[in-house]
Amino acid sequence: MISADTAALKPEVTAYQYHIKSQDILEIRNLQNSKNIVDLTPAQGAVSSQGGATTQSETYQVEEDGTVALTGLGHVAVVGLTRYEAQKKIEELYRKTFLKQPIIALKIVNLKVTILGEIRSQGNFQLTKDKTTLIELIGEAGGLTEKANEKNIKIIRGSEQNPHVTVIDLNDIGAINDPAALLQSGDIIYISQNKRATRTDNLQNFSSLIQPALILFNTALIILTLVRK
């Protein structure tokens, strides 16, 4: 089941596609012949060899004016495009200039989400695919703890002034496949404790608070007994 904390907080459920913004970091490779795009030094990029084919990659920051500066092309406008649209645009521009059959691979490497609460590995996780599901992230983070409430997993997104909270019940297959459960860059996922774990923790906290008082009470009884004797 998917629900929002309030009707006002419920986000629109649409197929999510990230659109490139200024300050994003793009990794761009030409899988066909990367040397025709960049001639990297070891400090600038990575070189790998697979099956005799050499590929190189370099990261580029999207400028405030919405463009990215690429060798041989100059400034190319990419803000507002999806990853796939930007990839195809750059590929076509290189094809029209000096690359015969470019195969461009583009990644947005700064996209991430944060997962907190009853998960085995809390922290920030990079979104490496266009569409990453909540289940995939939970698996990458090592799975839920035994204290987790799988019926109450919150996805918090939006600005601090206007946050949207979506509650996911992992026992509901329909909720897992809902577009609202596809993760977006900047999401915060919080996994709360189940009722049993909460009761146990409350009992332990109560015991730790009352134990000193019990010790004092028992000590007073012993002293009183000795005095009466």
Q: Is the pLDDT of residue 3 over 60?
A: no
Say which CATH class 25-108 falls into: alpha beta
Collapsing DSSP states into helix, strand and coil, what is residue 98?
coil
The CATH 3.10.560.10 portion of the chain extends over 2-12+111-195
Nearest-angstrom CA–CA distance, 122 and 22 = 28
What is the reported pLDDT for 11? Answer: 44
Q: Where are the beta strands (DSSP E) in 16-88?
A: 25-30, 46-50, 53-61, 67-70, 74-77
CATH 3.30.1950.10 location in the chain: 25-108
Query: What tens digit of pLDDT does each residue of 170-225 get?
Result: 988 887 778 888 999 999 999 999 987 666 656 566 566 667 766 776 677 677 77
Instruction: Please state which of the ranges 3-7, 23-27, 65-69, 131-135 shows the lowest mean pLDDT.
Output: 3-7
Distance CA 122, CA 125 (A): 9
| Phi, then psi, of 225 in degrees rounded to 5 | -65, -40
pTM: 0.69
Closest CA to 152 of 136, 139, 134: 134
| Confidence at 44, pLDDT banded by 50, 70, 90 | very low
CB atoms closer than 10 angstroms to residue 129: 12
Does domain 2-12+111-195 match CATH 3.50.50.60? no
Of the pLDDT bands very low, low, confident and very high (cuts 50, 70, 90), residue 18 is: very high
Q: What is the mean pLDDT of the chain?
A: 81
Predicted confidence band of residue 49 (pLDDT cuts 50, 70, 90)? very low
